[in-house]
Amino acid sequence: MKKSSLTVLVLLLVLSLGLAGCKSNSEGASGDKDKGGGVMIYGRGGDAVGLDPAHETDGESFIVTEQVFETLTGYKKENTDVIPELAKSWKIADDGKKYTFTLEKGIKFQDGTDFNADAVVKNFERWMNGDAAKFPYYASMFGGYKNDPGHVIKEVKALDETTVEFTLKRPQAPFLKNLAMSPFAISSPAAIDKYGDKYGEHPVGTGPFKFKEWKRGDTVSVVKNDKYWKKGLPKLDGVTFKVIKDNSARLNALTKGEVDLIDGVNPSDIDKIKSDKNLQIFERPSMNVAYFGFNTEKAPFNKKEVRQAISHLVNKDDLIKNFYNGTAEPAATPLPSSIAGQNKDVKDYAYDEAKAKELLKKAGYPNGFKMDLWAMPVSRPYMPNGQKIAEAIQANLEKVGIKANIVTFEWGTYLEKLRKGESPAFLIGWTGDNGDADNFLYTLLDKETIDSNNYSRYKSEPVHKLLIEAQSTADEAKREELYKKAQEIIHEDAPWVPLVHAKPQLAGVNTIKGFYPHPKGSQSFVDVSMSK
């Protein structure tokens, strides 16, 4: 016993020397590793939830599924205009209720089965026979499931091998944009049958990369699809998505060369990245809006003058400088510039305390009032720090005698209470789904979406008329006009103070070529390359 304890001690000492030895051995070795033949490592803050796109709602899942899957229609690289993808062309009937798609010929899924009209029909039938627990996004975009009265799609039919016909119950103007969304990517029906409940761990699509491996909480890797239907693509041999939760640690890993591209860059780190000649910044065009909303049913915010007065008291440039480090643009209307229909002629309420006082007097509150201001408890790309922004607004309101008391709740509760209209005034935001103006204006400000996402409970007949007309108009130019008019009324009524459209920042090594972050938040790496 005596001897053995000493032996243990000596062993431990030897081990510790061994560890120290490893430390010095590693010098230089871990520095410049071979780039492994063009596998790009993408560092991000969270893991995917699942890899069956129809099942998921979170961006971290879609970043991966975008590589494996494709949709019938697609988006242009820099905005949300619709372009052909798996469908090479389409015809829309004059009444807007029939869409006939001609599919690309000869495409195969990664499991070797054929992509054809039948596969498309099977995918849609799978979704419309599901429910909110299985395919949550489907109901949000297509109005419900098979037997729901709101369900837009009446029938999906395969006319022949490469022709699919969609019959709608009523026209849906954003239909083509909806089809381009990540959750409505086309899966291999054979693979769905084969894997059943486990399909979310074995995704099979037609995309440029095949799913390889998923180490939960750590990495997801996809490799080049050698039989990809677009000639000469993809350029990369593969992409590995690596979870590094902390923003600073993720940047450290990029600086060290362990990862090639990262998202979720802290605005305060941007100068540091710009000064590093090995790195470059990518800016994602904004498809979001952060706003300061009022409950238009609650006094004193039921008075337009009060809402306008407060609109004059928010200094958006200061907010952008202090809390976004310049990576956002001031919002004059709810729509960001990446979305067709943004009204650039709307002139924002200028910061003006005298004007605000005058308006308050007119509304009958010459000495201000007391109010609760709700601040978001979580960080979102459109609002990195709700608490701080609330404090900045609070300070400005104080100047005209409005005493704001900052309130917050747990995130789930926060959303629930907003939906029920329990908050008088609140900070919140929105990230677009399909890149259509309808998805902002109707979803957030129509009288029909009260009790849902119209947290302001804003009710305006003229706006409602315009939005409904826009929903059933197929002509894009005409729709834009309607949305522009709606934005003018909304600006005048001021149910919100639109704060900013934030532009999320990514950083990568400067050998990355051909990467354009898409406004919707994820994109395929099909034509990205990394030169050595």
Partner 1 sequence: MFSYTMRRVGLLIPVLLGMTFIVFMMIRAIPGNPAQLILGQQASKDAIETLTKQLGLDQPWYTQFVHYLGGLFQGDLGMSLKTRSPISDEIWPYLAATIELSLVAILIAVIVGVNAGIISAWFQNSWFDYAVMLIALIGVSMPIFWLGLMEQYFVSIKWDLLPTTGRDNIRMPVEAITHLYLIDTLMEGRFDQFIEVVKHLILPGIALGTIPMAIIARMTRSSMLEVMRSDYIRTARAKGLKMFWVVYKHSLKNAMIPVVTVIGLQTGLLLGGAILTETIFGWPGIGTYIYDAIQSRDYPVIQSGILVVATLFVLINLFVDILYAAIDPRIKY
For the segment 56-115, give every residue that binds partner 1 (CB under 8 A).
57-58
Give the span between the Cα atoms of 344 and 361, in whole angstroms: 31
Find the binding residues for partner 1 in span 348-377 (CB under 8 A).
none
159 binds partner 1 (CB under 8 A): no
The answer to whether 70 touches 84, Cβ cutoff 8 Å, is no
Minimum CB separation of residue 48 from partner 1 in Å reads 9
Nearest to 251, CA basis, from 44, 28, 63: 44
The token pair at 89 is: 């062309």
- Which residue, 212 or 362, is less far from partner 1 as judged by CB? 212
Minimum CB separation of residue 55 from partner 1 in Å reads 8
Nearest to 421, CA basis, from 334, 289, 302, 306: 302
27 binds partner 1 (CB under 8 A): yes
Beta bridge partners of 42: 241, 261
Contact residue for partner 1 among 34, 94, 226, 461 (CB under 8 A): 34
Contact residue for partner 1 among 172, 178, 188, 221 (CB under 8 A): 221
Nearest to 312, CA basis, from 350, 338, 283: 350
Minimum CB separation of residue 415 from partner 1 in Å reads 6
530 binds partner 1 (CB under 8 A): no
The token pair at 116 is: 């054809």
DSSP string, 212-252: EEEETTTEEEEEE-TT-SSTT---SSEEEEEE--SHHHHHH
Question: Binding segment for partner 1 among 87-95, 128-136, 160-168, 521-529 (CB under 8 A)?
Answer: 128-136
Question: Binding segment for partner 1 among 164-172, 174-182, 235-243, 399-407 (CB under 8 A)?
Answer: 235-243
Specify the 3-state DSSP secondary structure of 309. helix
Nearest to 288, CA basis, from 178, 379, 382: 382
Minimum CB separation of residue 244 from partner 1 in Å reads 4
Minimum CB separation of residue 13 from partner 1 in Å reads 7
Contact residue for partner 1 among 105, 146, 215, 478 (CB under 8 A): 215
The answer to whether 287 touches 437, Cβ cutoff 8 Å, is no
Contact residue for partner 1 among 154, 216, 227, 274 (CB under 8 A): 216
7 binds partner 1 (CB under 8 A): no
Question: Binding segment for partner 1 among 186-194, 217-225, 355-363, 467-475 (CB under 8 A)?
Answer: 217-225
Helix axes 386-398, 316-323, angle to 10 degrees: 140
Specify the 3-state DSSP secondary structure of 118. helix
Find the binding residues for partner 1 in span 428-447 (CB under 8 A).
430, 433
Contact residue for partner 1 among 78, 83, 88, 249 (CB under 8 A): 249
Find the binding residues for partner 1 in span 35-54 (CB under 8 A).
35-36, 39, 41, 43, 46, 49-50
Give the span between the Cα atoms of 124 and 428, in whole angstroms: 33
- Which residue, 408 or 505, is less far from partner 1 as judged by CB? 408
Q: What is the C-alpha radius of gyration for the chain, rounded to an integer number of angstroms?
A: 26
Give the span between the Cα atoms of 429 and 427, in whole angstroms: 7
Contact residue for partner 1 among 181, 253, 373, 497 (CB under 8 A): 253
For residue 372, which phi and psi values (nearest 5 degrees)? -100, 135
25 binds partner 1 (CB under 8 A): yes
